[in-house]
Amino acid sequence: MTSLESSKPRWTRLGHTFLDRAALMLKNITVMQKYTVFSLLRNGLSGHQNWSPAWRSPPLRDKYDVIIIGAGGHGLATAYYLAKEHKITNVAVLERGWLGGGNVARNTVTIRSNYLRDQSIPFYVKSVELYEGLTKELNFNMMHSKRTMIDVVHNYPKMRELRRRQLTMDIYGSTYEQIFTEEVRRRIPALTGGGPGSRLPVIGGMVHTDAGVNRHDAVAWGYARAADAHGVEMHQQTPVKSLIRGTDGRIEGVETVRGTVRAKKVVVAVSGHTTTLTETVGLKLPLRTMNLTAFVSEPVKPLVDVVVNCPDLGFYFSQSDKGEMVIGGAPDSGQSFRRDIKQHVFEDTVGAMLELFPSFKKLKLMRQWGGHLDITHDASPIMDETDVGGLFVTAGWWGGYKAIPAGGLTMAHHVATGHPHPLMKDFTVNRFKNLEFIMETGTTTAR
Partner 1 sequence: MLLITCPFCGARNETEFVYGGPVGRDRPDAAKVSDDEWLDYLLIVPNPIGPVHERWWHARGCGDWFTIWRNTITHDIVDGPDNE
Instruction: Pick from 10, 48, 284, 362 the residue near partner 1 by CB under 8 A.
Output: 284
Give least dist CB 289 to partner 1, A.
6
User: Is the separation of the CB atoms in 256 and 239 below 8 Å?
Assistant: yes
Q: Do the beta carbons of residue 368 and residue 295 sit within 8 Å?
A: yes
Q: With CB under 8 A as the contact rule, which of the stretches 73-81, 101-109, 279-287, 401-409 interacts with partner 1?
A: 279-287
Is residue 242 a contact partner of residue 255, using CB atoms and an 8 Å limit? yes
Phi–psi pair at 224, nearest 5 degrees: -65, -45
- Which parts of 122-161 interact with partner 1 (CB under 8 A)? none
Site for partner 1 in 339-358 (CB under 8 A): 342-344
Q: Which is nearer to partner 1, 361 or 433 (CB)?
A: 433
User: What does the alpha-carbon distance between residue 139 and residue 123 come to, in Å, rounded to a whole number?
Assistant: 24
Chain residues 410-439 in contact with partner 1, contact rule CB under 8 A: 432-433
Among 13, 57, 337, 359, binds partner 1 (CB under 8 A): 337
Of 286 and 299, CB closest to partner 1: 286
Residue (44 or 334) nearer to partner 1, CB: 334
For residues 145 and 349, which CB has a smaller minimum distance to partner 1 in the complex?
A: 349
**Contact indicator for 313, 326 with CB cutoff of 8 Å:** no
H/E/C letters for each residue in 169-217? HHHCCCCCEEECHHHHHHHCCCCCCCCCCCCCCCCEEEEECCCEECCHH
287 near partner 1, rule: CB under 8 A: yes
Residue of the chain from 163, 250, 288, 425 that contacts partner 1 (CB under 8 A): 288
CB of 286 to partner 1, least distance (A): 4
Considering only 166, 289, 297, 380, the residue that binds partner 1 (CB under 8 A) is 289
- Cβ closest to partner 1, residue 279 vs residue 305: 279
> Min. distance of Cβ 269 from partner 1 in angstroms?
17
Contacting partner 1 (CB under 8 A), which of 33, 135, 236, 276? 276
Work out whether 369 is an interface residue with partner 1 (CB under 8 A).
no
How many residues does the structure list for the chain? 447
User: Does the footprint of partner 1 cover residue 242 (CB under 8 A)?
Assistant: no
Return the number of the residue (92 or 287) whose C-beta is nearest partner 1.
287
Residue 131 CA to residue 402 CA, distance in Å, equals 8
Rounded CA separation 445/447 (Å):
6
Tell me: does residue 377 bind partner 1 (CB under 8 A).
yes
Buried b (16+ CB within 10 A) or exposed e, 101-110: bbbbbbbbbb
CA end-to-end distance (rounded Å), the chain: 62
DSSP H or E stretch at residue 385: strand 382-385
Contact pick of 214, 336, 410, 444 for partner 1 (by CB under 8 A): 336
User: Do the beta carbons of residue 336 and residue 171 sit within 8 Å?
Assistant: no
User: From CA 69, how far away is CA 445, in angstroms rounded?
Assistant: 27
Q: Is residue 378 near partner 1 by the rule CB under 8 A? A: no
Q: How many CA atoms lie within 13 A of 433 on its CB side?
A: 8
Q: Which is nearer to partner 1, 118 or 347 (CB)?
A: 347
> Minimum CB separation from partner 1 for residue 431, in Å?
11
* Nearest residue (CB) to partner 1, 157 versus 334: 334
Q: Which of 50, 335, 359, 417 binds partner 1 (CB under 8 A)?
A: 335
DSSP 339: S
Binders of partner 1: how many residues, by CB under 8 A?
Answer: 21
Which contiguous run of DSSP H or E holds residue 268? strand 265-268
**Could you list the residues that contact partner 1 (CB under 8 A)?**
275-276, 284-289, 333-338, 342-344, 374, 377, 432-433
